[in-house]
Structure formats: structure tokens, C-alpha cells
């Protein structure tokens, strides 16, 4: 018998669910020997065995001993864990891909709302399964800070499989990649599987953005992808803040720029506070850079998942600075964030009057328009038209809202 090789992948422990732990030992003889530990083996043991044999056959492995501790893992999770272990044992570029769900083939738009984006640790499949049902505008499969360094390679495979086989119920599909060359390898694996937006962390210049764009375009051409892949760089340092405008305009595929305040305040050597005075300069500078380039400014996460009142106050303060969304780390934060960024009823009523007056003035060929005693300038109309559009998209206002409205306009 030759040298015995072992490799492991996955998670184990009493609190683990919807996952599995795999240990593979390559042999010279003996065929495939499966030691399955699962509470559902009587129901799914045969299908798990078939999957294990299929994966080994795909990689040309005829003799191996595998211990599989199943905690309710779906097939695409099991195959991801097996692939990760196998790739520790042998060099191979082959990928064992699960079927692509038809429900996952939807695309996104550059101008869509991104009020809430829910972070999910990229190596924790249990958090993927029903995340879309909570209604976030985007779901972020995080390969960076949320994944331990020793688990990053297997998380990349798991995220790839999730993009194909896990239903995210129409939410925008985002992946936060790692920094440097590891991030480039992340892109090569996940981009072919309908990633809508790539979050690029800890950006301090446009140089790495250019490398990311070049890699994405190479992958798109290789796989003949017709849809665009958008970018959301994350500024997380003092230098990044100073370079915000250069970063924001570094690619036409950038749809938003986000700020990460935990790393930013650490870079300053100060404590992040609820009032946020220590980050006011950074946040306003980022907002101004984004609006100068006509992309969305996205605020940082609110870390206290139990303080809903504090979250709502934070969202409203964020909105008042010009932000158009923020990250969240728990599903319960999603409706609060949406509520905070949605236009208030009084804002909608005011917008209706101003937009309707502007429409009537345009029909009458009037130039400068006034409503009551106040002049209505084009930028004011544009801002309120945005509120009308937002209210329509959120279902807070119905099409045909102009019916029955009457306003008195004056103009020249």
C-alpha cells in the first residue's frame, strides 16, 4: 500500500445544521468505503451513497475510505465538501457542479434599489437556505471576513454551489471576495454562476478595481456570459476615504460605493460610537463622491442586532446624509432598514403636489413654476420625482396617482 493521505472539509459539532463533515483517505485497493453517520440515513442513505460514488468517479478515484457526518446537508453541500477535500489530495481543475436551478437565472439592473443587503458567512450553508424569504434587496455570500483563513478555499466551492442550487427568491445575488490574489481566484470560480454584484473589500485605490474588472471580463469571455457583473467597492481606511472619488469613477460597472466603519475607525485608532461623530467626515465624503459620479452610497452595518430603535434612528440619520442603503447582519434588521429608507407619508404627499404641478406647468408651456408662494426649480422637481418613483416601486403609491389632483400653478 502506498502513502496514506487524509483530507477533511466541512463543519461538525452539536450546533451545526444543514452541513456535513467529510474525511477522505485515499487507498490503493478496496474500492469506495463509506462510513455514513446520519440521523436520516434510513431515508436518504442510498441517495447519499450514490452521490459519494458519483463524485469519486467524476474525479477518477476508485479506492478511498470516506467518513461522512451528516447534519442534514443538501446534496449540493455534500458535493461541495467532498470536492474541497479531494482538491486537497490531488491537483485538478475539474468542478463537480450541481444543476442550475431555473429560479436562479434572473438578472439584475444597475439602477435597482439596494436599501438592505444581508451578509451571510460563506462557509455556513444553514444561513443560505431561507435568507431570500426575509426580503433583503441583496444577499451577500461573504468569502472575506466571515470565513476563517483555513476555510476560505472550501467556502469558495460552497458559495459556487449555492449560486447554482440554492434558491435566493429574486434577491440580488452578491459575493464579497477576498483581497489580493485570493480575491482574483474567488472571481474565477464564482463569476460563471450568475453573480450580480461583486463586493470588493478594503479598497484604497483604483488599481485593484482595474485588476478585478480585467479578471471578470476574461471569465465572461471564456464562458460566453452575456450579462454584466456589477461592482460595489468597500472603503474601509483613511486612505480609502481620501481616494473615494477616484475609486467611484474607476469603472462604469460600479453601481455603489460602501463604507466599512469597523475597519475605518480601527484605522483611525478610535472607538466607533452610536452618535457616529468620529466617522462623519468619512461618510459625507463618500456620499459626495458617489453623487458626483451618479452611483449609490451605501452605509455600514449596525452591529447591535437587538436594538431596533437604535437601528431605525441610525437609518434615518444615514438617509439624511444622502446614503441610499446599508448592510445588515441579521434578517430582523431588514424590515427596519427598508422602513427607514422608504419615503415618509408626508414626503410622498409633498412630492405628489410638486410633481403634479410641474407636469401641469409643462403642459401649459410655463417656464418658472410656483406652488403656493414657493418657486419650484428643476432640481427640486427632480428630487421629488425620485420620491414618487421610489414610492411606486415600494407599493406605497399606485399608478395613476395623479387622478383627481388639482393644484394652482403660476409661471412665466
314-361 confidence digits (pLDDT tens): 999 999 999 999 999 999 999 999 989 888 888 888 888 888 877 777
pLDDT over 90 (residue 60): yes
Residue whose C-alpha cell is 491537483: 91
Which of 66, 71, 73, 68 minimizes the C-alpha distance to 32?
Answer: 66
pLDDT of residue 62: 96
Q: Is the pLDDT of residue 295 over 90?
A: yes
**Arithmetic mean of pLDDT over the chain:** 92
272-287 burial: b if 16+ Cβ within 10 Å, else e? beeebeebeebbebbb
Cell numbers linked to 193: 454562476
Does the pLDDT value for residue 366 go beyond 70? no
Q: What integer pLDDT is reported at residue 367 of this predicted model?
A: 59
Q: 402: which residues sit within 8 A by CB, 6+ positions away?
A: 352, 356, 359
Q: Residue 353: its pLDDT value, please?
A: 83
3-class state of residue 36 by DSSP? strand
Which residue matches cell numbers 405628489?
352
Distance between CA atoms of residues 76 and 18, nearest Å: 11
Looking at per-residue confidence, does 104 or 373 come out higher? 104
pLDDT for 396 beyond 70:
yes
The string of pLDDT tens digits covering residues 28-59 is: 999 999 999 998 888 999 999 999 999 999 99
Residue ranges covered by each domain of the chain: 5-89, 102-341, 345-411
Asked: is 102-341 a CATH 3.40.50.11890 domain? The reply is no
Q: Decide if 36 contacts 49 (C-beta within 8 A).
A: yes
| pLDDT average, residue stretch 258-266 | 97
Higher pLDDT, 374 or 390: 390
- Please write the tens of the pLDDT for every residue from 114-165: 999 999 999 999 999 999 999 999 999 999 999 999 999 999 999 999 999 9
DSSP string, 87-149: HHHS------PPPPPGGG-----TT---SEEEEEETT-GGGTTTGGGG--SEEEEE-STTS-G
CA distance 253 to 187: 15
Instruction: Report the pLDDT averaged over residues 192-203.
Output: 98
The Cα 235–Cα 200 span in angstroms is 9
pLDDT on residue 1 = 42
Q: Residue 411 above 60 pLDDT?
A: no
* Residue reference for cell 443560505: 128
Among 17-21, 325-329, 396-400, where is mean pLDDT lowest?
Answer: 396-400
**What is the chain's length?**
412
What is the per-residue burial (b if ≥16 Cβ within 10 Å, else e) of 343-365? beeeebeebbbbbbbbbbbeeee
Please tell me which residue, 274 or 405, carries the higher pLDDT value. Answer: 274
SS (H, E, C) 377-405: CHHHHHHHHHHHHHHHHCCCCCCCCCCCC
- Cβ partners under 8 Å of residue 411, min gap 6: 361, 364, 366, 367, 368, 369, 370
Give the model's confidence band at 408: pLDDT under 50 very low, under 70 low, under 90 confident, else very high: low
CATH classification code of 5-89? 3.30.230
Amino acid at each position: 500500500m502506498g502513502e496514506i493521505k487524509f483530507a477533511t472539509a466541512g463543519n461538525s459539532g452539536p450546533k451545526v445544521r444543514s452541513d456535513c463533515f467529510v474525511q477522505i483517505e485515499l487507498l490503493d485497493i478496496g474500492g469506495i468505503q463509506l462510513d455514513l453517520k446520519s440521523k436520516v440515513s434510513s431515508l436518504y442513505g442510498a441517495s447519499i451513497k450514490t452521490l459519494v460514488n458519483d463524485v469519486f468517479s467524476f474525479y477518477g478515484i476508485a479506492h478511498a475510505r470516506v467518513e461522512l457526518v451528516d447534519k442534514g446537508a443538501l446534496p449540493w453541500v455534500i458535493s461541495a465538501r467532498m470536492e474541497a477535500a479531494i482538491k486537497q489530495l490531488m491537483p485538478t481543475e475539474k468542478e463537480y457542479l450541481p444543476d442550475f436551478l431555473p429560479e436562479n437565472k434572473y438578472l439584475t439592473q444597475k439602477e435597482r434599489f439596494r436599501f438592505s443587503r444581508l451578509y451571510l458567512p460563506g462557509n455556513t450553508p444553514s444561513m443560505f437556505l431561507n435568507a431570500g424569504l426575509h426580503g433583503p434587496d441583496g444577499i451577500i455570500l461573504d468569502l472575506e471576513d466571515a470565513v476563517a483563513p483555513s476555510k476560505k478555499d472550501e467556502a469558495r466551492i460552497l458559495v459556487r454551489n449555492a449560486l447554482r442550487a440554492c434558491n435566493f427568491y429574486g434577491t440580488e445575488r452578491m459575493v464579497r471576495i477576498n483581497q489580493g490574489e485570493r480575491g482574483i481566484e474567488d472571481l474565477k470560480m464564482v463569476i460563471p454562476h450568475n453573480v450580480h454584484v461583486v463586493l470588493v473589500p478594503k479598497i484604497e485605490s483604483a488599481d485593484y478595481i482595474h485588476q478585478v474588472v480585467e479578471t471578470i471580463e476574461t471569465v465572461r469571455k471564456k464562458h460566453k456570459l452575456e450579462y454584466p457583473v456589477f461592482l460595489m467597492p468597500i472603503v474601509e481606511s483613511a486612505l480609502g476615504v481620501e481616494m473615494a472619488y477616484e475609486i467611484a469613477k474607476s469603472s462604469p460597472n460600479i453601481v455603489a460605493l460602501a463604507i466599512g466603519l469597523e475597519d475605518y475607525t480601527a484605522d483611525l485608532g478610535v472607538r466607533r460610537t452610536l452618535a457616529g461623530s468620529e466617522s462623519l467626515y468619512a461618510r459625507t465624503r463618500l456620499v459626495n463622491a458617489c453623487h458626483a459620479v451618479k452611483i449609490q452610497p451605501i452605509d455600514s452595518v449596525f452591529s447591535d442586532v437587538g436594538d431596533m430603535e437604535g437601528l431605525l434612528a441610525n437609518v434615518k440619520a444615514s438617509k439624511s446624509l444622502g446614503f441610499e442603503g446599508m448592510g445588515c447582519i441579521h434578517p430582523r434588521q431588514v424590515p427596519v432598514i427598508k422602513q427607514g429608507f422608504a419615503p415618509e407619508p408626508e414626503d410622498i404627499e409633498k412630492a405628489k403636489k410638486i410633481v403634479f404641478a410641474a407636469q401641469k406647468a409643462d403642459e401649459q408651456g410655463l417656464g418658472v413654476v410656483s406652488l403656493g408662494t414657493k418657486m419650484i426649480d428643476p432640481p427640486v422637481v427632480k428630487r421629488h420625482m425620485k420620491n414618487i418613483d421610489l414610492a411606486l416601486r415600494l407599493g406605497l403609491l399606485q399608478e395613476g396617482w395623479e387622478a383627481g389632483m388639482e393644484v394652482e400653478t403660476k409661471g412665466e
